[in-house]
Structure 1
Amino acid sequence: MDRITLGNEEFEGRNNAYVLADGDDLALVDTGIATPGVRSQLRDGLADCGYAFADVDAIVLTHYHVDHAGLAGEIQAESDAAVYVHEADAPIVAGDEDALEELHARRRELLDTWGVPDALQAELQSFLDAASEIEGEPADVTPIEDGTVLELGTWQLEAVHAPGHTAGLCWFDILDAPASGPAGTDVASGSREAFVGDAVLPVYTPNIGGADVRVDRPLETYRTTLERLVDRGYDRVWPGHRDPIDAPADRAQTILDHHRERTDRVLGVLRTHGPCDAWTVSDHLFGELSGIHILHGPGEAYAHLDHLRHEGVLALEGGEYRLLDRAVDTEGRPSR
């Protein structure tokens, strides 16, 4: 297995595309953004391994975001590769107009509900319009679901549905892999490993709430995903950004702890400032925002506010969240 590092200055930093080769069989896990620079990086990285876009037989996408799926359609056009992605994200990768309009309408609705100022909504839309060039071409996709096993030559990957960051994010449990490969990128014999996309990252905490506005109860959903990862007992995982994670359960636990602390901070904002909408809470948490963070900041605040409301700690009235007179435990639930 080879890891190709791809440029990405907008999102969580350096992207990874993983090259799974076995004789004449060639698969990619994720593809990077559809910009000229990243396209060249991916072509050059494949050439260093002795391959071209036309040689790719399969593309396995962890989720629909453009920094992971942007080049899938273009590679497929050159190679006729199969493109696999979870059924929840498949319509977006396929460029389905109804699915895209539903996503955009939901985003507009929530930005209003969260109380994002009109001027910042306009700035966000300008950013998204400018970023449309990195989305790439639609792909003809093969939808998969939790438990689907992909046979990619000797490589055998099992899809594990891991929603939160997006509705259809999957990680891929490595059930079988060839023994040969460059030092440092082999899947160790007897080691339990997976390609995890943005389910867990080595530096940043994956955004929830804003990263995919289709996800219902985003914090609770993502916490369940992290707990599932801990339970799997992986020895090492290969993320969608930056370097491999050698203690994935510890990293997942760190992110869970981070969200508990953020829940406490959200409660602190409401105790200090009284009832607030999601944008006001976001402003107290993160300060001034620009670009994609105009979506991600209030989305993250909303994820925590929504969780606390479902747990009976907050009431939502007229777009503002109000503290109820109840003590809460470390999970943000009312104390018994």
Structure 2
Amino acid sequence: MAASDPSQSITRVPAPVDTRAPGGTTNAHVAGGLLVDPAARTDALDDAIDLNGEGRSDAAIDAIAVTHAHPDHVGAVGEYAELTGAPVFAHADHIDRFAEATGVEPDGTFADGETVGDTDVRAVDTPGHAPDHVAFAVTEGRRDGTAPNGLLCGDLAVAEGSVVVGAPEGDLREYLDSLERVRDGGYDRLYPGHGPVISDPRSACQRLIDHRLDRERAVLAAVESGASGVDAVVDAAYEKDLTGVADLARATVVAHLEKLVAEGRIGEEWADRLSRERGI
């Protein structure tokens, strides 16, 4: 069911998709004329953009874009582009990645700080979860209109739990920088790609930063205690049953180790081990 926030003119439409995220859904959003992350075609999303059986009855959207090109965010980009005739936009630095994931050649591009097509929605680079990850700032809703107050943040943040930032897609240094950027951005609400709206962006971002730094300390302690391989670090860093998520935990540990190598905080022998992990 679509969830609309009248104060901000943002409509959230969860769609059931094949995703590892809790709840098994990805949120599409309609905001300021932009359709973001149409992961699957649903009746609720058709209704949110005023789509009738023959196409749009009203010009509810002026552009289509995605927060990043992971499969659970892009599944219906091509279908909604064809149904509505709305132009599709991709990040200027990741056009090929977008086209490969969606099967759609974009009609236009955007870069950090630019508005998307003819909408008033502004792109905010937030890499880390994925190299192409971007959020979208919506200025509607604040009475004085002086600053963006809603951010469609994709997989940057979630209201509960944490976001996977795992190798080879994830970059923890970039992810932490992105969380700090959004934490300090003055947003009133975050609209994640999975789960409910976040009403306290500063606290949510700081919680996720603290979680990542806690995990980093556990990974570093495992290395300093003599762990000589990724599996040994995983066993030491996670004190819980990893059934069903062992691959995600391992990818996360590799990303942490890559960050520690890049910062010179663990020995260069780990660079060789991680290169072998990637088959380099």
Which amino acid is 1:161 matched to? D
Deviation at 1:151, TM superposition (A): 5.1
Could you list the runs of 5+ residues in structure 1 that have no partner in the other structure? Answer: 33-37, 96-134, 178-186, 322-336
Letter in 2 for 1:172: F
Aligned amino acid, residue 303 of structure 1: A
| 1:150 alignment partner, SS class | coil
**Aligned mates of 1:194, 1:10 — CA distance in 2:** 22
Output aligned runs, 1:77-88, within 5 Å.
77-88=82-93
CA distance in 2, matches of 1:320, 1:92: 28
- Aligned: 1:166 with 2:130: yes
Superposed counterparts of 1:39-188, under 5 Å: 39=41, 42-47=42-47, 50-52=50-52, 54-55=55-56, 57-95=62-100, 137-141=102-106, 142-150=108-116, 152=118, 155-175=119-139, 177=140, 187-188=141-142
Q: Tell me the secondary structure at the aligned position of residue 16 of structure 1.
A: strand
Residue 143 of structure 2 is aligned to residue 189 of structure 1? yes
Check whether the contact 2:137–2:150 (CA below 8 A) recurs between aligned residues: yes
Q: Which whole-Å deviations, capped at 9, do the CAs of 1:96-142 have from their partners, x for residues lacking one?
A: xxxxxxxxxxxxxxxxxxxxxxxxxxxxxxxxxxxxxxx6x501213
**Aligned-partner residue type, residue 123 of structure 2:** A
Larger radius of gyration: 1
Q: CA deviation at 1:209?
A: 2.9
Match of 1:253 in 2: 206
Query: What is aligned with 1:300?
Result: 252
User: Segments of 4+ in structure 1 off by > 6 A?
Assistant: none
Distance 2:34 2:264 in 1: 47
Q: Which amino acid aligns with 1:47?
A: D
CA contact (8 A) 1:162 1:169 kept: yes
Deviation at 1:6, TM superposition (A): 1.3
Give me the whole-angstrom Cα distance separating, in 2, the residues matched to 1:252 and 1:302: 22
> Any conservation in 2 of the 1:276–1:320 contact (CA below 8 Å)?
no
What's the RMSD between the two structures over aligned residues?
2.6
Amino acid at match of 1:83: V
Please say if 1:282 is aligned against 2:227.
no
Q: Is the 8 A contact 1:198 1:239 kept in 2?
A: yes
Separation (CA, whole Å) in 1 of partners of 2:18 and 2:78: 22
Residues 194 and 234 of structure 1 are in contact (CA less than 8 Å); yes or no, is this contact kept in structure 2?
yes
Structure with greater proportional helix content: 1
Partner of 2:222: 269
Percent identical among aligned pairs is 26
Please say if residues 62 and 85 of structure 1, whose CA atoms lie closer than 8 Å, have aligned partners that are also in contact. no
Instruction: From the superposition, tell whether residues 52 and 165 of structure 1 become closer, same or farther in structure 2 (CA, over 3 Å).
Output: farther
Cα contact 2:63–2:87 (8 A) shared by 1: yes
* Cα pair 1:87 1:168 within 8 Å, conserved: no
Q: Partner amino acid for 2:11?
A: D
Q: Distance in 2 between matches of 1:264 and 1:139?
A: 42
In 2, the alpha carbon distance for the partners of 1:143 and 1:209 equals: 27
Q: Any stretches of 5+ residues in structure 2 without a counterpart?
A: 1-9, 275-280
For residues 208-254 of structure 1, the C-alpha deviation after alignment (integer angstroms, 9 at most, x for no partner) is: 233xx256xx1111111111111212111111111110101111000
TM-score (norm 2): 0.79
The superposition leaves residues 128-177 of structure 1 with CA deviations (integer Å, 9 ceiling, x where unpaired) of: xxxxxxx6x5012133211111254xx511101111011111111113x3
Contact 1:31–1:67 (Cα < 8 Å) also in 2? no
**Residues of 1 paired with 2:30 and 2:150: CA distance?**
15
Structure scoring higher RCO (CA < 8 A, sep ≥ 6) equals 1
Give matches, 1:29-48, under 5 Å.
29-32=36-39, 38-39=40-41, 42-47=42-47
Q: 2:35 aligns with which of 28, 31, 51?
A: 28
Name the SS for the 2:38 alignment partner.
coil
Partner of 1:5: 14
